[in-house]
Amino acid sequence: MTLLQDYLDKWLDKRIPAADRHTLNHQNIFIFPAKFGGVFLLLCMLLFLLGTNYQNNLMLILCYFLLGIFLVNLLASYINFARINVKIGKCPEVFVKDNLHIPLWLNANSHGSLTLNGLLDFKFQTRQTKKQQKLTPDSITQVDVNDFSNPINISHRCKDRGKLVLSRLTISSVYPLGLYRCWTHLAFSHEIIVFPSPLPCEIELHKHQQPTSKKGTKIHDQQTGHDDFSHLKAYQVGEPLYHVAWKQLAKGRGMVSKQFSTLSSQIGWLRLSSSHQGGSEITTAQKLETELSKLSFQVIELSRTGQTFGLDLGQTCIVPNNGSSHRLVCLKALALYDNRSASL
């Protein structure tokens, strides 16, 4: 079973390699009579039997006409499906256990004359046994192509941190008469990284990069007045937008940003504590995850308040900085933190 599955996967990878844009054609479209198509053929056969037994030519004509419809539908179905072209859009950042909404742009720049019709079903392939499937039903997103707005958001539940493993997306349609099912399994190339889910906790900033002593030098973050307003300053590109004094802007005094007094003084390091080590392997892994989650929360919080901080994960170190790009770098580092190499 798995062998066949692997072979199929390999074959698919060869036939439909990952890309950020797919135009459907004979290379990547599969077509086969749907269940209804099979029953339809059965109906034709019944009509033929009835028509022959009653020597009724009109019934035979009806039967052959329906057979003709069946044949012609093969092309109609294919032609319609071959008008699809999909492009993956820019994904928002996503944390573990979140539903990632992957934006897909369907026929975004197609030409007016070639209109796609019907209902499309979007679904991610799942490699699960039936038992598991019952527990976590994967969703089908149905899109009425004649009445939708780009982009289509397809939700995907992210379970693990790190680089997202996106299974193939199955798009299928039975337009126009439901006699044939056209489908395709598309793989999208993407750079989506799932960050550890933030776990609310106290913010611990360490003065030094290296852990010199146990916990003596750590600055307890007593930021009761951390957003105390001190003065206004001309806005510089890169400063967080939430520091912009919008009221001033509205008054026509240009972009000025609010400066806060207590923040600038505190530069510190976020550090992955080694407390997770020890104990059994499973608990170690769990502890590591919670630690990473906590760090994730801290990174987000500190970035929100525009503080400067560094991140020390042992294997990787990120020098103190601030701004949204720094935040991203830190979160990525947390997401890609390899627990095996750390424990070794």
Stretch that binds other proteins, among 42-50, 86-94, 270-278, 327-335 (CB under 8 A): 42-50
82 is a contact residue toward other proteins (CB under 8 A): yes
Kind of pairing between the strands at 180-186 and 229-234: unpaired
Total of chain residues touching other proteins, rule CB under 8 A? 59
Residues 6+ apart with CB under 8 A from 152: 103, 104, 105, 106, 122, 141, 143
Nearer to other proteins, 76 or 199 (CB): 76
Q: Is 69 in the site for other proteins (CB under 8 A)?
A: yes
Closer to other proteins by Cβ: residue 39 or 241: 39
Closer residue to other proteins, CB minimum distance, 73 or 296: 73
Distance CA 129, CA 122 (A): 20
Contact 122, 154 (CB under 8 A): yes
Determine if 36 is a binding residue for other proteins (CB under 8 A): yes
Residue 85, classed as helix, strand or coil, is strand
DSSP, residue by residue, 95-125: ETTSEEEEEEEESTT--TTS---SEEEEEE-
What single letter denotes the amino acid at residue 242?
Y
Options 132-140, 208-216, 282-290, 335-343: segment touching other proteins (CB under 8 A): 132-140
Q: Out of 45, 108, 114, 319, name the contact with other proteins by CB under 8 A.
A: 114
Task: Give the residue, chosen from 16, 51, 100, 297, that forms a contact with other proteins under the rule CB under 8 A.
Answer: 51
DSSP secondary structure string, 255-298? -EEEEETTTTT--EEEE--GGG-SS-HHHHHHHHHHHHHHHHHH
Q: Quick one: which segment of 9-17, 137-145, 193-201, 266-274 binds other proteins (CB under 8 A)?
A: 137-145
Q: Which of residues 141-170 bind other proteins (CB under 8 A)?
A: 141-142, 144-147
Binding site for other proteins (CB under 8 A): 36, 39-40, 43, 46-47, 49-69, 71-76, 79, 82, 111-114, 117-119, 133-134, 137-142, 144-147, 174-178
